[in-house]
Copies of this chain bind each other. A is one copy, B any other.
Amino acid sequence: MSAIESRLRELGITLPTPAVPVANYVPFRRSGNLLIIAGQLCIGPDGTIAEKHKGKLGANVSVEDAREAAKFCAVNLLAQAKAALGDLDRIGACLRLGGFIASTPDFTGHAQVMNGASDLMVGALGEAGKHARTTIGVPVLPGDVVVEVDAMFEVS
């Protein structure tokens, strides 16, 4: 088992089977040392999206639940990275996370929500997990999920 997967296990996380895109695209593309991963939705460990992870901050979804949703997105990014690389230890750095948080126009705590993804990435990868990030509010996401996160990794 890779060092990173051991750390994930200590965090109580087993990587799921990565989601198959529901449309005409692929979950990741590699170019040289760059690995680009498609936007991941907050599919949980049971392979479904919980009702509490659908909707919007400022309306029906709490910050705590949305943080968990963001964490699930990050886990799914790592599951895709493993599918791409075979071994997560080939990740040199998480270069960037893009966080998309569905909210009403008066909610402003998106950074706190996105920390659910950032904390998981740093928890799993350590120094290599420290990433630049861009977090924005959106009115709605595909399938009404509350959080979507995409990523760019440096890999070997």
Give residues 1-46 of A contacting B (CB, 8 Å). Answer: 21-29, 31-34, 36-39
The residue in chain B whose Cβ has the minimal distance to the Cβ of A37 is: B132
Tell whether A63 is near chain B: CB-to-CB under 8 Å.
no
Tell me, in angstroms, the Cα distance from A127 to B25 when the chains sit together. Answer: 10
The residue in chain B whose Cβ has the minimal distance to the Cβ of A133 is: B25
Tell whether A50 is near chain B: CB-to-CB under 8 Å.
no
The interface of chain A, by Cβ under 8 A from chain B, is 21-29, 31-34, 36-39, 56, 92-98, 100, 102-112, 114-115, 118-119, 122, 130-144, 148, 150, 152, 154
Is A131 within 8 A of B23, CB to CB? no
12 A-B pairs (CB sep. < 8 Å) = A23-B112, A27-B132, A29-B94, A29-B132, A31-B93, A31-B95, A102-B137, A104-B105, A108-B140, A110-B140, A135-B142, A137-B140
Is A31 within 8 A of B154, CB to CB? yes
**Number of copies of this chain that the complex holds:** 3
Tell me, in angstroms, the Cα distance from A135 to B136 when the chains sit together. Answer: 13
Is A140 within 8 A of B103, CB to CB? yes
**Cβ 8 A contact of A140, one of B22, B27, B107, B118:** B107
11 new A-B contacts at CB < 8 Å, known A25-B130, A137-B141, A139-B139: A24-B115, A24-B122, A25-B133, A26-B131, A31-B33, A32-B33, A39-B136, A110-B140, A136-B141, A137-B138, A137-B140
